[in-house]
Chain A
Amino acid sequence: MESSLQISGFEVLSAQSAEAARETINKVGIGRISVILSDYRLPNQTGTQLLEWVRSLDSCLSTMIITGQDEKAIVEESISVGVFQYLEKPVTHQFLREVVGKAAEETSLKRKYQADRRGLKELENLDQSMNDVVPESLQDRMTVFYRPLHEVGGDFLITHQYEDDRHVVVVGDVAGHDIRSGFVSTYFQGMFKGSLESGGDIEKAFELSNRSLLMRRAGVGQNQDLISLSLSAIDLRNGDDSIRHWNFGLGPCVIVSDNGVIELCETGQFPLGWIPEIETDAQHINLESKSLLYIFTDGLADFADTLKVNLFSLLYRFLHRFNESEDLPVMPSDDILLVRFLLNTSMPLSQTFEPILSEHYAGTELEHIDHLQSNWRRSISFALDDRLGDRLYDLLICIREGMINALTHGCEKSADKFAHLQISINEDKDTLRIYIDDPGKGHEFDLVARLERLGNERGENLGLGIIQHLSDSFKVENKGTSLVFDFSITPDKN
């Protein structure tokens, strides 16, 4: 058998016992061996015992056992320890050559696959460490949630600190969400980082990236996708009263004020790699009374749509109580990267209002109020679980009344007039704050005073009276076009 294999071109090492085989394998190194054949009957032990030991060292290595005819029990034992094939004596030269060749090929494929997986795992760890680690200088201000679709993602995060207590944060998203996007994002991540660390302005990095993407576009074949880069960046210096902000193709970043009002920043320009001339002048965001900034990639909104919850409910859940095995009935279809940045450093994070829902509704949505209500319920429950207890329905009644009022009177049931519903949460105050704004003219009289005078009489203001009664605090702003009411989060124990 040995000479038969040698004639076929195999390099063969032979041993007369299991003990001698172990010595040979240890001496040569198991990684150099492609196939192991063993007789079942060996001095002192069986061939399957030897091959079990071999597979414990290298599960990719193909092993074969040689038996006499009709030894069914041996065959079953061999299969149970993962033997590649068993050979019944007598074995022909041609059959031996074929079967050992296939076994060697199988070993090679398995080892390559294992090496690829190991490499991807290392890449995954590297990708994770590059994208969700917050530098020490920003530990008390910045929170990152990163979940790539594959081992490496097309989303990336860059933070850079200049010497003068000035920070730059860049959130990027390379088109696509496959391994290729992961490599491209790493390339741009490195380019941005290198440019910033060598003292360059961020504007230069935008221009450099755009040029690089456009140059690549010239050589792209018809069947290849164009690569583009969406990104959102901020540049802030401690003590300044504004931050500089750029957005190339990413969804708008979100600013939350000290009292819980949610504002969307401008969406900005096309992604990098689309057009030759880009505008690198920054938008300036005034920080007065602003407490939080959120930047996130498109994957967050896509996944919120899939889960049929509001984007901010998902965002809150990811940042506060995310348990991958419990929280994902379906898988995301894109990488997700989100960054929360504390703008007001004099205010601890727990004292800020964090958004859990923000939606604009046209006046015509009034006829779908039940559907809207089920969306609110699903989103609030998704963000807060059962924390509201039975008060969830008090809250839903109030939101319903407020939105019916806004869509009917403020928006006049019109398709081109929009009301804005926002819900934010303040953990320290144990409070949910609801804002309902409409574009109406408002009224000159004092609505709250009128509601108090009305007491519990029925009438056209009954809905607002119910809000005032069920909520923990209630006020109107902007001549009654904005309703603001608070709800305690902790369930009523009575």
Chain B
Amino acid sequence: MTSDFLKEDISALMECKLDTRKGRLHVEIKSDVTSSNVGDLRKGLLEIFKDQGMDDWRFLYLDMRNARMVDSMGMNWLFAENVRLSDHGKKLVVRISSPAIHRVMLFTGLDKLVTLKYRRRKQTR
């Protein structure tokens, strides 16, 4: 069963779909992940967890394929979310397409803590 989640204040930043059959919560981030928006992303994700509950999924699929860049604050947020998810027995899967983001994630070692799915795509924005 899949349910749609749309809330006006965060829908510009992220959207989610819950796939209870596979136990996956898909969250698509629509922008870069930087110091300018990590506060809103953190709040948005908490709203999603509140709305969807924590019982019907085991994997959070964070789709960052729209993002062209991530900065150190963005990375800190990802590390923090991974710790929170681990505490709840959940796994984080991050999808990216930007080579720049890929390089930052490899450097910071996030790839060793989460499942990183990288398919390179030319940046057009």
Contact = CB atoms under 8 A, between A and B. Distances in A.
Interface in B10-54: 34-36
Interface in A58-90: none
Contact of A370 (B36, B70, B107): B36
A83 to B, nearest CB: 56
Contacts of B123: 390, 392-393
Contacts of B70: 397
A462 B108 contact: yes
Interface string B49-70: 0000000000000000000111
Given A390-B122, A393-B68, A456-B109, A466 B104 contact: yes
A394 B100 contact: yes
Given A390-B123, A456-B109, A470-B104, A397 B69 contact: yes
A288 to B, nearest CB: 38
Interface string A454-494: 00101000110110011000000000000000000000100
B71 interface: yes
B76 A462 contact: yes
A397 B79 contact: no
A470 B98 CA distance: 14
A404 B38 CA distance: 15
Determine which residue in A390, A401, A404, A469 has the highest number of CB atoms from chain B within 10 A of its CB, and name it: A390
Nearest to A392: B123
A456 B69 contact: no
Interface in A188-217: none
B115 interface: no
A369 B76 contact: no
A466 B107 contact: yes
Interface residues on A, range: 20 to 34
A400 interface: yes
A404 B35 CA distance: 9
A260 to B, nearest CB: 23
Contacts of A391: 100
B107 A456 contact: yes
A397 B122 contact: no
Contacts of A393: 68-69, 98-101, 123
A458 B103 CA distance: 15
A149 B104 CA distance: 47
Nearest to B80: A458
B75 interface: yes
A400 B71 contact: yes
A287 interface: no
B72 interface: yes
Contact of A390 (B34, B99, B109): B99
Interface string A435-466: 00000000000000000000010100011011
Interface string A379-396: 000000000001111101
Contact of B35 (A369, A465, A466, A469): A369
A470 B34 CA distance: 17
A248 B79 CA distance: 57
Interface in B70-125: 70-72, 75-76, 79, 98-101, 103-104, 107-109, 122-123
Interface of B: 34-36, 68-72, 75-76, 79, 98-101, 103-104, 107-109, 122-123
25 contacts: A390-B98, A390-B100, A390-B122, A390-B123, A391-B100, A392-B123, A393-B68, A393-B69, A393-B99, A393-B123, A394-B103, A397-B69, A397-B70, A397-B71, A397-B100, A400-B69, A404-B71, A458-B108, A462-B76, A462-B108, A465-B107, A466-B75, A466-B104, A469-B107, A470-B104
10 nearest CB pairs, A to B = A393-B100, A463-B72, A462-B72, A469-B107, A456-B109, A390-B99, A394-B100, A393-B69, A370-B36, A397-B69
